[in-house]
Amino acid sequence: MWSSGSRKEEPETLDRSYAERTSDVLVIGSGGAGLRAAIESKDRGADTLVVCKTLLGKAHTVMAEGGIAAALGDVDPEDNWKVHFSDTIVEGQHLSNWRMAEIFAKEAIERVYELEQYGALFDRTKEGKISQRPFGAHTYRRLCHIGDRTGLELIRTLQDQVIKRSIAFMDEVAVTKVFTDPKTGRASGAIGIDIKSGRLVLFRAKTVVLATGGCGRVYQVTSNSYESTGDGIAMAYRAGAELMDMEMIQFHPTGMIYPAGVRGILVTEAVRGEGGILTNTKGERFMSKYDQKRMELSARDVVARAIYSEIVAGRGTKNGGVYLDVSHRGAAYIKNKLPSMYDQFLEFAGIDITKEKMEVAPTVHYQMGGIRVDPETGETSIKGLYAAGEVACGLHGGNRLGGNSLSDILVFGRRAGAAAAEAALGSELPGISQPDIEREIDRILSPFSPGTGANPFLLKEDIAKNMWKHVGIVRNGEDLEAGLQEVQRMRTVAANVRAKGGRIYNQSWLDALQVWDMLLGCEAIIRSALERKESRGAHTRSDYPGKDDRWLVNIITVEKDGKMSHDLRPVPRPPPELAALIEKE
């Protein structure tokens, strides 16, 4: 059962050889969206291969805490998909794709029951139904949860289903490029680094699903994991796909700020869902100034801006945060409903949240923008290339509601997996051109070029500092331009980034390649932010403070003649029967 391991020969640093793997469907990413896509694809009879950068089961989905939003109506029987649809569109500041929101609100319900039948153990109501907790800007109590470890349960449940179905997977493989068939333009495979052996692997596939998550790590203070570097966005863009609404970066209102070593770690919205109160150093419950009706449970963009404003106005703590207090709910209740928050504060900060206040400040949390996809199938603007989850765009508009991402990955992960499998089953294997492969191998191996160059770890820190400084919660044209210039300057540094050491599990090599993806993501965010001359949802411009309905457009980012270009497209209008459901603000 357990071996002592076999000796692995380390390849020469400039070894250009590669192994090949062929499948009907290639799924890149093993978070909730990737695993759900793989399950669906396999169940429909397609030979499916999952590759992911992390170990299986470590994807950023494990970090999701508060719950999964679906209008079961188990706690509030008045709730139904129509209200969930309306909440999603209204709080998305009317930038969401109506059809995606409709599919999402309807199918989230089935996906939650399905997850339960896959083995997930949700908290229960007294009647034995699935318990649902309140969350910011959801009209009804809607978040099905597993204490405050909902994402962990979701990923483990799907992981078990993947193993049960014997779905092929290769973990710790960093994919660097998606190929398209030079004749037809269809997606035809990918290439990447098998991190454990240091060898290259070429993947040939009939269809490809991107489920690579977001790019939160381009910011200095973020709740995101190591892998959230926007690789999927960069790969899709380089393959010619359209990106959309890249300026929309969600700042979660509450991240840890103290001690410095743990800055950015998420403090779940469930703390406020369970009655947590925000106060400034004057002891004022300041949310009454910003949203008197919903208070702490207002939308994330509103609460994040409120906290930001309090700190800027000098009513923040010396560590640069505000207070969040849930101690009035009592120790037993807190330990039961927020067990990992209790542990997190006790172990990292030495604070007992059943007795003391937490110190919190906004942290970069989610990318609402991403690859533009077809609402029904998740197909991108490249045939045969699908995207689902955080890497895809269209559902969340200008601001994502808490809990909507977990249902998003299940609903659209499943749909992308289904469409990718159906398309693959009836088709021939498309081609990959050898020059394309060789060019990419050149790029992959370039950090091993002779000579000295930048340290990728330091460069990543600089990238993150630049975004935090110039492209934060409140933006302006001048800062954005400065941020863009800095990105261009760092590009020249990145051109000479160097890896150190051999090929087996070499992080400096992986990070050197990530740097380019991150800079591409940064440029797309900044250029889109410069483009949108208004303040809407997560995007606030101090030089254009108001919401302006001329900007009811989606900003498309696409490569034209080797340059990043933009296109403004009006947000599709819902049909009258759905428009009637959308509540007027």
Binding of another protein by 446 (CB under 8 A): no
Q: One of 252, 300, 372, 536 is an active-site residue; which one?
A: 252
* CB 504 within 8 Å of CB 200: no
Q: Which of residues 168-197 bind another protein (CB under 8 A)?
A: 171, 196
Stretch that binds another protein, among 7-15, 83-91, 240-248, 353-361 (CB under 8 A): 7-15
Please state, in angstroms and rounded to a whole number, the distance separating the CA atoms of residues 56 and 514.
20
Environment class of residue 332 by beta-carbon count within 10 Å: exposed (0-12), middle (13-18) or buried (19+)? exposed
* Measured distance between the N- and C-terminal CA atoms of the chain, rounded to whole angstroms: 61
The yes or no reply on residue 296 touching another protein (CB under 8 A) is no
248/526 Cα distance (integer angstroms): 10
Q: Which of 82, 99, 106, 156 binds another protein (CB under 8 A)?
A: 156
Residues in the chain: 585
Measured from the CB of residue 159, what is the shortest distance to another protein in angstroms? 8
Active site residue 272: yes
Convert residues 41-60 into a mask of x (bound to another protein by CB under 8 A) and - (unbound): -------------xxxxx-x
The H or E element that residue 250 is part of is strand 249-256
Is 146 a residue that touches another protein (CB under 8 A)? Answer: yes
Cβ atoms of 298 and 272 within 8 Å: the answer is no
Q: Tell me which DSSP letter residue 550 carries.
A: G
Across the strands, what pairs with 556? 244, 567
Q: What is the DSSP letter of 303?
A: H
Residues 373-412 within binding reach of another protein (CB under 8 A)? none
Q: Would you say 178 and 427 are in contact if contact means Cβ atoms under 8 Å apart?
A: no
397 vs 456 by CB, closer to another protein? 456
Which of 113, 489 has the CB closer to another protein?
113
Spell out the residues 6+ positions from residue 434 whose beta carbon is closer than 8 angstroms to its own.
none
Q: Can you tell me which of 25, 46, 63, 382 binds another protein, judged by CB under 8 A?
A: 63
CA distances (Å), origin 456, targets 445, 452, 470, 544: 14, 12, 21, 36
Taking contact as CB under 8 A, which single stretch among the options 6-14, 175-183, 206-214, 286-294 is the one that binds another protein?
6-14
Least distance CB 243 / another protein (angstroms): 25
Binding pattern for the stretch 327-356 against another protein, x by CB under 8 A and - elsewhere: -------------x--xx--xxx-------
Instruction: Answer yes or no: are the C-beta atoms of 46 and 417 closer than 8 Å.
Output: no
Closest CA to 321 of 370, 260, 376: 260
Which stretch in 300-308, 494-502, 517-525, 527-535 sits in contact with another protein by CB under 8 A? 494-502
**Catalytic site residue 252?**
yes
Q: Which is nearer to another protein, 261 or 314 (CB)?
A: 261
Give me the amino acid identity at 584: K
User: Which of 15, 47, 76, 116 is in the footprint of another protein by CB under 8 A?
Assistant: 116
Can residue 493 be called a binding residue for another protein (CB under 8 A)?
A: no
Task: Name which position in 99, 106, 129, 335 contacts another protein (CB under 8 A).
Answer: 129
Which residue in the set 17, 117, 292, 452 belongs to the binding site for another protein (CB under 8 A)? 117
| Tokens, residue 228 | 């959230």
Alpha-carbon gap, residue 239 to 233, rounded angstroms: 10
- Report which secondary-structure segment, H or E, holds 305: helix 300-312
Is residue 501 a contact residue for another protein (CB under 8 A)? yes
> Is residue 147 close enough to count as binding another protein by CB under 8 A?
yes
Return the residue of 504, 553, 564, 581 that touches another protein, per CB under 8 A: 504
By the rule CB under 8 A, 260 interacts with another protein: yes
Q: Active-site positions?
A: 252, 272
